[in-house]
Copies of this chain bind each other. A is one copy, B any other.
Amino acid sequence: MTTPIMLNAFEMLVPAFQSPGLWRHPADRSREYNRLDYWTDLARTLEDGGFSGIFLADILGQYDVFGGDGDAAMRGGVQYPILDPSVIIPAIAAQTSTIGVGVTASTTYEHPYLLARRFSTLDHFTDGRVGWNIVTSYQDSAARNLGLSGQAPHDQRYDRAEEYMDVVYKLWEASIDDDAIVADADAGIFVDPERVRRIDHVGEHFRVPGPALAEPSRQRTPLLFQAGASPRGLAFAAKHAEAIFYNGPTPEIVRGWVDTVRGDLVAAGRTADAVKIFTMATVITAATDEEARAKYEDYQRYVDPEAALALFGGWTGVDLAGADIDAPIEHLETEAHQSALSTFTTLDPDRVWTIREMANFISIGGRGPVIVGSPTTVVDELERWREEADVDGFNLSSVIRPGGQEDFVRHVSPELRRRGLLAEQRPGATFREAVLGKGPRLAEDHRGASFRPAAVGTRA
């Protein structure tokens, strides 16, 4: 029997997310990002198409590296303005029945006692369909607006994140027993205090006596996503993640990374398949290869190079303002530039890219592959990727919003279903069960489970 392919939609509550300039395409409806029904309609479409999840990215600052200010990002609507993704999750749950919703939240700017309650609440109101993408945040502009003079060094942010995770595990897994909510009217007991305990966490960054504010939800700990690609980020993922997002331009490059992750997991005492890996991909599809190719060519006319370079500056810290856009990238001289450009140089070490070509490359596909074609062509390519890269699924980015997602559901999902390749979702399953095939609670070999007292089980 074939292992199904998991589908996750990659989104953000912004006018321009992964494809700068494409909001200007006549078919694009990104301007509606501030309307609730845009998001609930999209979630329903994706659920019809067999997606296991929709993932809502988030940042708390502006892309202000390009030209030294945020002007280019603003003009392009590049992840600005941005709305708070967490508050739409129950509304999405109310209008869907199986799709999970993952959301980014930072361990740097919010207190774990508040974050723990919010995710417990989301897990109650989605009936177990919420996931958390753990980030430590990377923008100086966010740090400055949140009261710091600049962001803490990378490793220090991860030290804090490690302690942060222990605090939330204690709140989610250890503070309230499964049978603590008695709700016995005759006995007059709603909560049995003997089955609730303080966590008495005292650490370098946090002192949290507890107990948790929210009663245990179906998953207790939300499904944990992570995307850090640095050595410290990888070690963090091996310890905490249950699903990982990765971006790589070829199956070979992704495969090397996947093998490392699987090895790290085993070294960390978990099973090699304890984490599901989603690699980023952009699919442009239509009934025939020709039509799909025509779409791709049409889309390229809407790329906005300045906006793409604003996005690139935010990712890499490299400011390409003032450079000749038709000059080759190799003329950029510093080591930081070269490192930031490694995605491109690994693709083909001999190719000379111009800045414009790189901007176009970023704008349609980002740091992952662009798969263009008929349903047959697309599914062949997804299968090839899945096998060669050894990934569990795809984190799908859309050039036209929500048209790209609608095209995928109309054309590709039926072909995946026809080949028995679509991981069909089971009503009533939690996000953890949908993605990991087991749950609804953290697996016994996960770090979070080590905080559990005997009175807390793995079954909801």
Q: Does A144 contact B (CB under 8 A)?
A: yes
B15 touches A84 (CB 8 A): no
A75 touches B188 (CB 8 A): yes
Q: In the bound complex, how far is the Cα of B84 from the Cα of A125, in angstroms?
A: 10
B146 touches A113 (CB 8 A): yes
Taking CB atoms, residues of chain B closer than 8 Å to A315 are none
B214 touches A120 (CB 8 A): no
- Which of the segments A45-53, A91-99, A240-248, A284-292 contacts the partner chain? A91-99
Tell me, rounded to whole Å, the shortest Cβ–Cβ distance linking A342 to chain B.
30
Interface bin, chain A? 35 or more
Taking CB atoms, residues of chain B closer than 8 Å to A174 are none
Tell me, rounded to whole Å, the shortest Cβ–Cβ distance linking A119 to chain B.
9
Tell me, rounded to whole Å, the shortest Cβ–Cβ distance linking A73 to chain B.
9
Tell me, rounded to whole Å, the shortest Cβ–Cβ distance linking A215 to chain B.
4
Q: Does A118 contact B (CB under 8 A)?
A: yes
Q: Which residue of B114, B120, B212, B213 contacts A110 across the interface (Cβ within 8 Å)?
A: B114
A189 touches B75 (CB 8 A): yes
Task: Report A202-217 CB contacts with B as 1/0, cut-off 8 Å.
Answer: 0000111111111101
A190 touches B84 (CB 8 A): no
Q: In the bound complex, how far is the Cα of B217 from the Cα of A412, in angstroms?
A: 37
Question: Which residue of chain B has its CB nearest to the CB of A212?
Answer: B81
Q: Does A229 contact B (CB under 8 A)?
A: no
Q: Does A31 contact B (CB under 8 A)?
A: yes
Q: In the bound complex, how far is the Cα of B13 from the Cα of A88, in angstroms?
A: 18
Taking CB atoms, residues of chain B closer than 8 Å to A213 are 60, 80-83
Q: Does A250 contact B (CB under 8 A)?
A: no
Contacts of A4-58 to chain B: CB distance below 8 A: 13, 15-16, 21, 23-26, 31, 34-37, 40
Q: In the bound complex, how far is the Cα of B167 from the Cα of A84, in angstroms?
A: 18
Q: Does A402 contact B (CB under 8 A)?
A: no
Q: Does A304 contact B (CB under 8 A)?
A: yes
B191 touches A145 (CB 8 A): no
Q: Does A1 contact B (CB under 8 A)?
A: no
Q: In the bound complex, how far is the Cα of B40 from the Cα of A181, in angstroms?
A: 23
Taking CB atoms, residues of chain B closer than 8 Å to A15 are 183, 190
Taking CB atoms, residues of chain B closer than 8 Å to A120 are 83-84
Q: Does A117 contact B (CB under 8 A)?
A: yes
B111 touches A146 (CB 8 A): yes
Q: In the bound complex, how far is the Cα of B213 from the Cα of A76, in angstroms?
A: 15
Q: Does A437 contact B (CB under 8 A)?
A: no
Taking CB atoms, residues of chain B closer than 8 Å to A161 are none
Taking CB atoms, residues of chain B closer than 8 Å to A349 are none
Q: Does A414 contact B (CB under 8 A)?
A: no
Taking CB atoms, residues of chain B closer than 8 Å to A91 are 90-91, 93-94, 125
Q: In the bound complex, how far is the Cα of B93 from the Cα of A93, in angstroms?
A: 14
Q: In the bound complex, how far is the Cα of B29 from the Cα of A185, in angstroms?
A: 12
Q: Which residue of B21, B26, B193 contacts A71 across the interface (Cβ within 8 Å)?
A: B193
Q: In the bound complex, how far is the Cα of B37 from the Cα of A109, in angstroms?
A: 31
Q: Does A70 contact B (CB under 8 A)?
A: yes
Q: Does A74 contact B (CB under 8 A)?
A: yes
Tell me, rounded to whole Å, the shortest Cβ–Cβ distance linking A93 to chain B.
7
A23 touches B74 (CB 8 A): no
Question: Which residue of chain B has its CB nearest to the CB of A182?
Answer: B75
Q: Does A62 contact B (CB under 8 A)?
A: yes
Q: Which residue of B13, B16, B87, B192 contacts A87 across the interface (Cβ within 8 Å)?
A: B87
Taking CB atoms, residues of chain B closer than 8 Å to A113 are 60, 145-146
Taking CB atoms, residues of chain B closer than 8 Å to A122 are 84, 87
Taking CB atoms, residues of chain B closer than 8 Å to A13 are 121
Q: Does A231 contact B (CB under 8 A)?
A: no
Can you identify 20 A-B contacts, CB atoms within 8 angstroms? A23-B185, A24-B188, A34-B124, A37-B94, A74-B193, A77-B183, A77-B190, A81-B181, A82-B214, A83-B121, A84-B118, A84-B121, A86-B87, A87-B90, A90-B91, A91-B94, A91-B125, A109-B114, A114-B146, A147-B206
Closest 6 CB pairs of A and B: A77-B190, A24-B185, A71-B193, A74-B191, A84-B121, A81-B215
Give A contacts to B, CB under 8 Å.
Answer: 13, 15-16, 21, 23-26, 31, 34-37, 40, 60, 62, 69-71, 74-77, 80-84, 86-91, 93-95, 109-111, 113-114, 117-118, 120-122, 124-125, 144-147, 176, 181, 183, 185-186, 188-193, 196, 206-215, 217, 304
